[in-house]
A and B are shown apart, each in its own frame.
Chain A
Amino acid sequence: MRDYILKRVLVTIPALVIVSMMIFSLVRLFPGDTIVAMASESGSFGFTKDAENQIRAILGIDKPFLTQYFNWIGGLLTGDAGISLWTRQPVTHEIARTFPISLELAVFSSVVGIAVALPAGIIAALKRNTFPDLIARFVSLVGLSVPSFWIATMLLVFFSVQFRWIPPVIYQSFADSPGGNLLQFLFPSLLLGFGLSATTMRMTRSAMLEVLREDYVRTARAKGLTERVVIFRHALRNAFIPVVTIIGTQLAYLLGGTIIIEVIFGLPGLGRLTLEAVTHRDYTQIQANVMLIASITMFVNLVVDLSYGWLDPRIRYS
């Protein structure tokens, strides 16, 4: 197991280095006149040659490429990701403010998604081609196809008319108002959770179907185990690997901020911060956010991969 963990960690590091280089070069691809545009757009600098040089200095693009890169990486490792071009605060301030919101949304949505998907997927597989299976498959396909932002828009109107509920413009933190905070997360989490459950349910169903045909399930049944033990101990555990992958991917995606849902429901999370950074052309913030999101994704993938080893000993030793 130790070798397996070591191998996986060693594979992650180069990918992390590559992504940092990609993000870094991407920022350097901005044409020079964009910086002039930034100077005039951002207002806080005024449109002068000085302002332009100031931005170049903040970005550090007056130095050679490699020096810049290592400065940036060095900064990241010591928790200094640069200064936002828009707020002129350290970009980490904004991240610290928005990340917990995305985290809360991610956790709630995942819980909803798993709570819906696993039972539905297992039942659909066990009762294949019956009415419940068809319903589950149809609903999941609709869930895959109907864009969440459209549903969200429609639901908001429905809520505002039926319950006179509109998403508060001001975000309420859990410390300020636990009830208000939870209510603010309720609808977006349900919506995201149901959306995510479509993929997970389909994966659970097909993985279960695959496993239920295996010899060891037949053996388990033949030796007189109850159906519940067969399903939960023998089938489900083996069907879990692809399901865990999907759940991990989704969690990573959620942690990166679900931009549109955050925008629609007025949640100032990481996704919305990234969108705002893009509209403000706040390159230091974009750079930091994308790097953070990519690192989270890789970390989650690593954990998922390691969980394979735990779920299936064959993977550990191969």
Chain B
Amino acid sequence: MNTAVATAPIAGARYKAISLVRRSLRFAKREPIGTAAGILIVLLLASAIFAPLIAEFDPTKTRVGRPFTGPGWDHWFGTDQVGRDVFSRVVHGGRVSLTVGIVSVLIGTTVGTIIGMLSGYFGGFVDIVLQRIIDAIMSIPTMVLALALISILEPGTDKLILTIAVVMTPSSARIVRGAVLAVKPNMYVEAAKALGAGSGRILIRHILPNIIAPILVIGSVQVGNAILLEASLSFLGLGPPPPNPSWGYMISQEGRDVLTTAPWIGVFPGVFLSLTVFGFNMLGDTIRDVLDPKLRGRIG
């Protein structure tokens, strides 16, 4: 398909572009909420990537404005108790949240996928042992597990990512295992085996492409969960150390006590946090709807 695009005449390319726009519009019409979620996430990602360009002020610099200035033209989201620009802090805080959320889920889902594939494909003793370990980890609530892990690791963004990745691994392993079990009895797996393909080749070339849908769904929902977990840990003061901006910390430590007199300090990070999680949840829902053949084409 790639070569077809590369060698296509210019007219074909233009036709392709138009058809892409048309297809996007059609998709937007069929999945309005999913499209909105996609746009929302793209905007949030863009603001995180280009944070230094968007945010006018240094998020950690104090006295860039008078303390407790309300939202206005100079400081869109106002300033906090030490005169830091809340908008800059929210934008940079998003950078932390999205980085932690996405990187930890990438690690967690990758490890989970590998474990789930091995467990589901080989079955037997390996499966039993791995599943009991997953049972064991999953019996500890995510927040408690995260707390216990953080208590041994020193605080810091990389430790936070590691902790959340560990917390996210078992559930993706379990879902991937289920998906592998569903795919394994298919004829094409048998055929590959009959042709003499090795286990590695079967897993990567034949099974993985067919279980990508559930992996994408769990991944995107987990990014939302990971961001919530990061915010919760920051709320408890176990997130990235201050003065680095972090949404959870801004809500609890900076905004909470002055919520009646300077509500903008705690409200804006909360709104952004909610929107981000909402976006990823909706994205997961949409991916499920679009990729699940059982739901595809169903009316309503």
Given A278-B148, A281-B151, A290-B148: A145 touches B274 (CB 8 Å cut-off): yes
Among the stretches A11-19, A90-98, A171-179, the one at the interface with B is: A11-19
Contact across chains for A150 and B141 when beta carbons are under 8 A apart: no
Given A129-B300, A275-B236: A29 touches B274 (CB 8 Å cut-off): no
Contact across chains for A260 and B141 when beta carbons are under 8 A apart: no
Contact across chains for A26 and B152 when beta carbons are under 8 A apart: yes
Query: What 0/1 readout, one digit per residue, does chain A (256-275) give for beta carbons within 8 Å of chain B?
Result: 11011001000000010011
Contact across chains for B136 and A259 when beta carbons are under 8 A apart: no
Nearest CB in chain A to that of B135: its residue = A15
**Chain A contacts for B150, CB-based, 8 A:** 278
Contact across chains for B139 and A15 when beta carbons are under 8 A apart: yes
Contact across chains for A146 and B274 when beta carbons are under 8 A apart: yes
Contact across chains for B140 and A290 when beta carbons are under 8 A apart: yes
Contact across chains for A298 and B135 when beta carbons are under 8 A apart: yes
Among the stretches B3-11, B17-25, B224-232, the one at the interface with A is: B224-232
In Å, the complex CA distance between A260 and B142 comes to: 13
Query: What 0/1 readout, one digit per residue, does chain A (150-168) give for beta carbons within 8 Å of chain B?
Result: 1001100100110000000
Q: How far is the CB of A163 from chain B (nearest CB, A)?
A: 14
Contact across chains for B232 and A260 when beta carbons are under 8 A apart: yes
Per a CB cutoff under 8 Å, which of B133, B136, B281, B300 touches A294? Answer: B136
In Å, the complex CA distance between A145 and B274 comes to: 5
Contact across chains for B235 and A260 when beta carbons are under 8 A apart: yes
In Å, the complex CA distance between A14 and B132 comes to: 7
**Chain B contacts for A129, CB-based, 8 A:** 300
In Å, the complex CA distance between A150 and B248 comes to: 9
Contact across chains for B236 and A260 when beta carbons are under 8 A apart: yes
Interface residues on A, range: 35 or more
Query: What 0/1 readout, one digit per residue, does chain B (109-143) give for beta carbons within 8 Å of chain A?
Result: 00000000000000000000000110111111101
In Å, the complex CA distance between A129 and B277 comes to: 24
* A315 contacts partner chain B, Cβ-Cβ < 8 Å: no
Interface residues on B, range: 35 or more
Contact across chains for A259 and B270 when beta carbons are under 8 A apart: no
* A22 contacts partner chain B, Cβ-Cβ < 8 Å: yes
**Chain A contacts for B132, CB-based, 8 A:** 11, 14-15, 18
Among B39-72, those with CB < 8 Å from A are none
Which of B147, B236, B274 has the most chain A CB atoms closer than 10 A to its own CB? B147
* A308 contacts partner chain B, Cβ-Cβ < 8 Å: no
In Å, the complex CA distance between A157 and B132 comes to: 45
Contact across chains for A153 and B133 when beta carbons are under 8 A apart: no
**Chain A contacts for B135, CB-based, 8 A:** 11, 15, 18, 298
* B244 contacts partner chain A, Cβ-Cβ < 8 Å: no
Per a CB cutoff under 8 Å, which of B140, B152, B256, B270 touches A30? Answer: B152
Nearest CB in chain B to that of A153: its residue = B256
Which of A14, A147, A271 has the most chain B CB atoms closer than 10 A to its own CB? A147
Contact across chains for B236 and A263 when beta carbons are under 8 A apart: yes
In Å, the complex CA distance between A260 and B238 comes to: 12
Given A147-B232, A294-B139: A278 touches B274 (CB 8 Å cut-off): no
Contact across chains for B137 and A278 when beta carbons are under 8 A apart: no
In Å, the complex CA distance between A30 and B144 comes to: 17
Q: With A153-B252, A293-B139 given, can you name 18 additional A-B contacts, CB distance below 8 Å? A: A30-B152, A141-B278, A145-B281, A147-B274, A149-B252, A150-B270, A150-B274, A153-B259, A153-B270, A154-B267, A157-B260, A157-B263, A259-B236, A260-B232, A263-B236, A278-B147, A293-B140, A294-B140
> What are 8 A-B pairs with beta-carbon distances under 8 A?
A14-B132, A15-B135, A19-B137, A19-B139, A153-B252, A153-B259, A154-B267, A293-B139
Q: Report which B residues bind A (CB closer than 8 A).
A: 132-133, 135-141, 143-145, 147-152, 224, 228, 231-232, 235-236, 248, 251-252, 255-256, 259-260, 263, 266-267, 270, 273-275, 277-278, 281-282, 300
